Amino acid sequence: VEYLRNMGVAASLTVSLIQEGRLWGLVTCNHMKPLLLQHEARQLCELIGRLTSSLLGLKEAAQVARERDQRKVALEAILRRIQVSGNPSEGLVQGSPGMNDLFSVSGVAADLSGRGQWVTTGQVPATGWLDGLVDWLALHRSDEVFHTRSLPTVYSEALAIRQTACGVLAIALPKGDRSYILCFRPEIAQTVIWGGNPEKPVEELDEGVRLHPRKSFEAWRQSVELQAAPWKDWELLVARELRASILALDLQRQFLQEQKYRSEIRAREEVMSVLSHDLKNPISSIQLNLELIPRLASRDALGRLKGVIESIRHSTDVMHRMILENLDVTRIEAGNLELELAEVDVRGVVHETIEMFRPLAGSKGIALEQVLPVEPCTATCDRGRIFQALANLVSNALKFTPAHGKVSVRVNPCGPERLEFRVEDSGPGISPENVEHVFDRFWQAKESRKQGSGIGLTIARGIVESHGGEIWVESRLGHGTTFVFTLPMLPAASRAA
């Protein structure tokens, strides 16, 4: 009231314009002389305010729909490019119509992989600054679509590049914390003219603190900085639509890749089944004929053929084992590895494995030992498959351990629910660049290319993971290698029962 008196106003009428429960604007009518409006006039003003609010809402909704429709062509073109592009980030950013046709922006940076591989267009900050902004967004913002017209006020590092990135629209994609689409707007410095100084000083009075309204209404100019053009509601809707569409395309691509992969696995499984069936018959025939030779040949001839017979027997055993291993790999990849689960004290499995390889270790001058707990170590597992996995690991350790070296197998409880197996050797170790590949199918380091088929470790991993366990390797060059895997341990209550 004091403020109005300072302006010389004697009567005032204000009509509120409300949008979605919030004040959108005011219609203010002033009179320089006292004026009393009748009840009907005040009701009519209130009705006009409600009608105007409704019309404003309809007008804004129509504008949003119109803007979205105008951007629909650009959005569809961008999505088509992403779908066919080998690099989705390039498909998003490069080409026409582009992101500038979708949003009114000065620059765009995109990294849909989340690996810091930025693709940019227009005026954007340097790559190092983009990485810093993503770090800040990942730490401080959980919004799927974050927007601000004044980034330096919330992120002080942006003050130096406000002419390029004062306004930011950041679209997060769920491929990790670093997968983002960043749209930038520059700072727009402007001068705002007020009807008087908008600052309201506080005047101390005896009865307490109160606001002291303006008494001067001369034009007052204010320079506004650190602000870009605001992001409109329809732009935020389009941003969310773009995000949802990219996620849908990514899911579709993953589904198609999975279908293709499964189709290839099924085809390979069928081929391997046919090959194994066709190869097993002649191999079995050769093995049967080998068994007949001692009965049919004379003692002298048998003496001369002994080496040949052993060589053929060894070759057929190797071929038979290779067929079974390839079948196992195919079943593991297809998720069809069958398990016959039972309660097993794994100490017996370790002991059996050690005894099987003891002659080979002795012939190579390698010490082979087992370190087992005194108490039973019971797990629910397929005994034959765990024996197979352990045998592959021990065989691999013996293969790369030099004479007078040592290979040991240890079993220990790892917490209340897991058993840990460790196969340690004193061999040359594995170089860091090769560690991540040791479980890959058919992969072998250059220095060991002629020492096996390259699928034993793949099978071991498949067996362990099919039991719900984990497997990994610990190695340093010159300090040996340790393969470690875990199995779910049968709970103590179940063992007691």
Give dist(CA 327, CA 336) in Å, integer.
Answer: 11
Q: CA 387, CA 61: separation in Å to the nearest integer?
A: 69
Report the alpha-carbon angle 170-173-179, nearest 5. Answer: 80
User: Between 51 and 312, whose confidence is greater?
Assistant: 51
Mean pLDDT value across residues 3-24: 90
Tokens of 120: 């940019």
- Of 364 and 178, the structure prediction assigns the larger pLDDT to 364
Give the pLDDT of residue 43. Answer: 94
Beta partners for residue 152, in sequence order? none
The confidence score (pLDDT) of residue 284 equals 73
Beta strand residue intervals within 297-377, DSSP E: 342-345, 367-371
Sign of CA dihedral 43, 49, 50, 55: positive
Range from 46-50, 177-181, 255-259, 333-337 that averages highest in pLDDT: 46-50
Lowest-pLDDT choice from 16-30, 259-273, 303-317: 259-273
40 burial via Cβ count (<10 Å: 0-12, 13-18, 19+): exposed
Roughly how many angstroms between the first and final C-alpha of the chain, as a whole number?
86
Q: What is the distance between the alpha carbons of residues 246 and 249, in angstroms, rounded to a whole number?
A: 5
Residues above pLDDT 70, as percent of the chain: 85
**Residue owning tokens 């007008």:** 59
Q: What is the mean pLDDT of residues 213-218?
A: 71
State the average pLDDT for the chain: 83
